Amino acid sequence: MWLDQPRNQNSPLAGLKVVELARVLAGPWAGQILADLGADVIKVESPEGDGTRLWGPPWVERTDAGGTVHREAAYYHACNRGKRSIIADFREEADLVRVRDLCRDADVVIENFKTGSLTKFGLDYASLSAPNPGLVYCSITGFGQTGPRAHEAGYDFVIQGMSGFMSVTGEPDGEPMKMGISISDLTTGTWAANGIQAALLQRERAGPFQGRGQHLDMSLMDCSVALLANQASYFLNTGKNPPRMGNAHAQVAPYGVFPVSDGHVILAPANDGLFVKLADLFGRQDWIDNPDFSSNAGRVANAALLDAEIAAETSKRTKADLLALCKEHGVPAGPINDLDEVFGDPQVIARGLRVDLGGMPGVRSPFTFSHAELALDRPSPILGEDN
């Protein structure tokens, strides 16, 4: 199944064939991760194309080999780098035969259709794995293949609310807030790529399942609940709902956003030693001597008072001056960057996170290997470019 002529011989997944029957974000995000790692990802699109091609503005224009100008949403290019694109209309039997033939020797199929809806097309796991028992077939849905909501569609915003994300995000007295990115979709796509590679490893390993693929069932709801981490632990161990804290931390103080004369900075002195360094920075020996601030538990209990005193000190300084002092004293701190500052940051530039392929800027997958490299050789495909 592994391709004889991979895209990049020195990429970890060079030679892996992936068929992507997915659209919008979670499935394509998983596919892009595998493509960056060197897999040959064939994106199968409807005649109308992935819906995100129309999710603008902003828009991007580019010209194909025949001189035709294509206008597509920048959103589409955030999650489809490195792939090939073919068009298939599932209402046409000839197109279905073509897709089944693609899957016959594929290593991986990624799909994010509603549970059970690909069965009538013969594109479900049972149908495709019969002639290809080594196939790793990844289904991405809102709620998974089982349970009372299995047949419901899932949307990132809705899942952010249902999973508890929004109950712990936002100011204490404000309304619950979603994150500024589609965190449920992106988390699911990332974990799907991880699960796919685990299944591929099991397929290669000696044992009862050597040579066998499997069906990987990923859901936005599962992945979002799993990402609750310490907030889930808070509830499971106390029976109480964790509060919304805004930019504060429920278990650590001081830890948050503080004003400076020209904006805001983040201060994160997350243990007793770092708090002493913060007090030294401001010349506030009284903080160190105050029994209410001598331990993290005391600082959490008196966070409002402590934060007000810290804010009074930080507001006397500029952002640059305070960050320089924090660096000098070893206090964890940082700016709150807009994206122009992010991509102008010397660290981001040094790590090569921005990539430009075929005139299309993007952000590479954040893997840095000692003995391998990413396959960053193709921009996102034009619809049907590889028919």
Q: List residues with catalytic annotation.
A: 185
Separation of first and last alpha carbons in the chain: 21
**Which uninterrupted H or E stretch holds 258?**
strand 256-260
Three-state DSSP state, 106: coil
Sign of CA pseudo-dihedral 302, 305, 308, 309: negative
Residue 36 has phi, psi (to 5 degrees) of: -60, -30
Beta-bridged to residue 149, according to DSSP, are none
Residue of 12, 77, 82 lying closest to 42 (CA atoms): 82
Cα 204-206-211 angle, rounded to 5 deg? 45
Type of residue found at 365? S
| Three-class HEC string of 168-187 | HCCCCCCCCCCCCCCHHHHH
Edge-to-edge order in the sheet of strand 83-87: 83-87, 40-45, 17-21, 108-111, 136-141, 214-219
User: What is the separation of C-alpha 188 from the centre of its chain, rounded to a whole number of angstroms?
Assistant: 8
Cα 262-251-166 angle, rounded to 5 deg? 75
